[in-house]
Structure 1
């Protein structure tokens, strides 16, 4: 069957809604040409990543989008490419995500992966999308607590509830569990390629909602890695990927190791630190502290404000796990399944020791 025929059936199955009366703000516009181009690209992404396997997608009209927006001037941004509006749909708050500067291909890839990952409890729930706009607009559930980065650092000067040590351990495990699922649940392993605190949302109970799937890539059957352009956030990107352009599951493991260090230290890998060895990275600084048994120095002071972490054995295990994930050689890193298992064991063991 030709692609044009596949696209015709694909668009028919989306059950596109009829236009509604225009909303208060006329922010979005679109046309049938965009629908056809976006629909074709989305179909290609679903075939490439999931062999055409599909979960249902709700397709919003442009009028639907315009009717959602609560305030056209209230724009939320988590990166230079990811911005959007706070809105309401069906009586619930939503995040209307605009992929400004992101290619049609990457926006459609995010739709494809987020839809397939939607059954996992630790994934940011995609409610639907609009394909009539120039680049697809995505509609997600609104997560009031914001991103993990905003909870670790006081970005806008607002007072935020401190994440306690036990919460950070659980958050780390939930991220690991979601990424392990991404690597193992489908016919082909899918690599996230953009794991960072900005792509981890927290719900009202501080449970993880992993997001940001636009840069995902699949590993071909029988292969350990795939060559592609080097993209993502450099401070969280694996050095072997940055050098060779080869993406592997271990690339995500490195990024996760950086996130685990952020949760532990409250510091970010983009900063250069000073030590007896001169200017070093965050992982090198933590490794030095580990080597001289000064782990208390690396712990985020906000979680030791009432005294040191009681169980230094489990603290050491977390540091060693983070450093093994951050190994320069991808072959030396554990798998995400192993990481999730180790974290779960540490959480259970630390709970039993209290």
Structure 2
């Protein structure tokens, strides 16, 4: 794990960012989300940046801006996207990050844009990197952080396909003397911890559940909520656990991964996903446990 120390934040001017994005031209747009647009920019020193700009200004957007600024300024981990600074002399506050060139993991899994194939070795490495970053957030950062929206769309891949967790607008800092926190439910359908959904009690195990869904997504190449037979929608986590309990999980796994990977390694990861998707949070491992379980397997596979 990286040092939990905070990172220096640069205050950018509107003039700098307009110059970096050719006045926020459409051809500089690197991505769009439900709440904002991300622009690719080039600073005068030729370094690349990503600029997140909210679509509208409202109280919720301002709260998320302040929250993300507060949280990311305290984090320092190679698998967490780095916040470089912010811009305040604009109507809509802007956040500036390191530019992560290969986009969201979602696009690579589901062939929406990139159409790349994430083989077994890459799959294991990405799983390990996400697990290590979450373990850091939960137990090694200056103040524990629960992300609340772990999903493939919030995992970015750099030029070496190293995974970086992004989008901390809805995340929460948890006081050291608390293990759970009552809060309005927030997250993405299909990744949401059912225990959190029904109780509104947020714990680090909510991130563990979402992580389990994400790994299931990598193993099956199916979306967290996916469509079958034209109109029927299925929940990936539910189907994965049901098939696992019937010893038929191979029916839902991506065939190319099954061909590539040793059966023992697949069984190990499937079992780990099952633990993370336990309906009760207390039955799920911590992310530190997950990293410890993955350590030996990942180091052996990646050293070959």
Report the TM-score when normalising by structure 2: 0.88
Q: Give the Cα–Cα distance (whole angstroms) in 1 for the partners of residues 21 and 233 of structure 2.
A: 47
CA contact (8 A) 1:57 1:128 kept: yes
1:136 aligns with 2:96: no
Q: Give the Cα–Cα distance (whole angstroms) in 2 for the partners of residues 57 and 109 of structure 1.
A: 14
Q: Deviations over 1:48-92 (max 9, x none)?
A: xx9xx9642100011111111046113233421131212101202
Give SS of 1:250's match.
Answer: helix
Structure 2 CA distance for partners of 1:279 and 1:105, relative to 1, 3 Å: closer
Flag structure 1 segments of 5+ consecutive residues without an equivalent: 1-49
Q: Give the Cα–Cα distance (whole angstroms) in 2 for the partners of residues 343 and 239 of structure 1.
A: 25
Figure out how many residues of one structure are paired with residues of the other and give that number: 293
Give SS of 1:287's match.
Answer: helix
CA contact (8 A) 2:154 2:167 kept: yes
Q: What is the RMSD of the two structures over their aligned residues, measured on CA atoms?
A: 2.3
Flag structure 2 segments of 5+ consecutive residues without an equivalent: none
Q: Give the Cα–Cα distance (whole angstroms) in 2 for the partners of residues 265 and 333 of structure 1.
A: 21
Counterpart in the other structure of 2:212: 257
**Within-5 A mapping of 1:16-31:** none
**Bigger Rg, which one:** 1
Q: Give the Cα–Cα distance (whole angstroms) in 2 for the partners of residues 330 and 273 of structure 1.
A: 29
Q: Give the Cα–Cα distance (whole angstroms) in 2 for the partners of residues 238 and 273 of structure 1.
A: 23
CA contact (8 A) 1:268 1:282 kept: yes
CA contact (8 A) 1:154 1:160 kept: yes
Q: Deviations over 1:171-223 (max 9, x none)?
A: 01100101110111235321011111111100111001111111111223322
1:333 aligns with 2:279: no
Counterpart in the other structure of 1:289: 243
Segment drifting more, 168-177 vs 289-298: 289-298
Q: Deviations over 1:104-151 (max 9, x none)?
A: 12112112222222x311111222110222342011222221110011
Counterpart in the other structure of 1:79: 33
Report the TM-score when normalising by structure 1: 0.76
CA contact (8 A) 2:32 2:38 kept: no
Structure 2 CA distance for partners of 1:279 and 1:57, relative to 1, 3 Å: closer
Counterpart in the other structure of 1:148: 105
Counterpart in the other structure of 2:20: 68
Counterpart in the other structure of 1:323: 274
Counterpart in the other structure of 1:29: none
CA contact (8 A) 1:171 1:207 kept: yes
2:84 to 127, 142, 145: 127
Counterpart in the other structure of 2:146: 191
1:110 to 48, 56, 68: 68
Give SS of 2:266's match.
Answer: helix
Q: Give the Cα–Cα distance (whole angstroms) in 2 for the partners of residues 87 and 349 of structure 1.
A: 39
**Within-5 A mapping of 1:196-345:** 196-271=151-226, 281-303=235-257, 308-345=259-296
Q: Give the Cα–Cα distance (whole angstroms) in 2 for the partners of residues 87 and 136 of structure 1.
A: 16
Q: Give the Cα–Cα distance (whole angstroms) in 2 for the partners of residues 84 and 333 of structure 1.
A: 35
Whose relative contact order is higher, 1 or 2, with alpha carbons under 8 Å and at least 6 apart?
A: 2
